[in-house]
Amino acid sequence: MAFTLVERVGLRVRRPPDDRYPRGMTTGDPSGRAPRVLLYSRAACHLCDEARDVVVQVCSDAGESFDEIDIDAPGADPALREEHGEHVPVVLVDGRQQGFWRVDAGRLARALARGARPR
């Protein structure tokens, strides 16, 4: 599948050509580093939609990018569904879980500030 880069809230987002919201896509870090924030989500999940909005805003404010993985997507690791299936959305920063179901913007911002990378 081909991807198109678009700007969204100050983040570079890879989108499929049909321009659906980038569920399961990488937001892309201009430095080439892996994003520090990971959002596990699934389609048709209103809490995931709310969590995505918080993650987009906090990451934009912090100058960070994020990855989002749809745990139910074809080809997704079944272990993700097993581990996170009842808790999505789940947000991790630097590999450590920061929240699930409802994402706290303040907690996420503090986690990003604690381990801020040099620019």
In a domain, 5, yes or no: no
For 20-63, what is each residue's pLDDT tens digit?
334 444 455 555 667 899 999 999 999 999 999 999 999 999 99
Number of domains in the chain: 1
Q: What's the confidence (pLDDT) of residue 115?
A: 77
Query: CA torsion angle for 78, 88, 9, 34 (degrees, to 10)?
Result: -40
In a domain, 65, yes or no: yes
CATH number at residue 82: 3.40.30.10
Report residue 11's pLDDT band, with 50, 70 and 90 as the boundaries.
Answer: very low
In a domain, 119, yes or no: no
| Domain range enclosing 42 | 23-114
In a domain, 106, yes or no: yes
Kindly state the average pLDDT of the residues 64-91: 93
Kindly state the average pLDDT of the residues 1-21: 37
C-alpha–C-alpha distance, residues 78 and 22, integer Å: 21
Task: From 36, 16, 32, select the one nearest 24 (Cα to Cα).
Answer: 16
In a domain, 59, yes or no: yes
Task: From 26, 12, 36, 32, select the one nearest 111 (Cα to Cα).
Answer: 36
Does residue 72 have a pLDDT over 80? Answer: yes
In a domain, 9, yes or no: no
In a domain, 93, yes or no: yes
**Cis omega (within 30 of 0) for bond into 74:** no
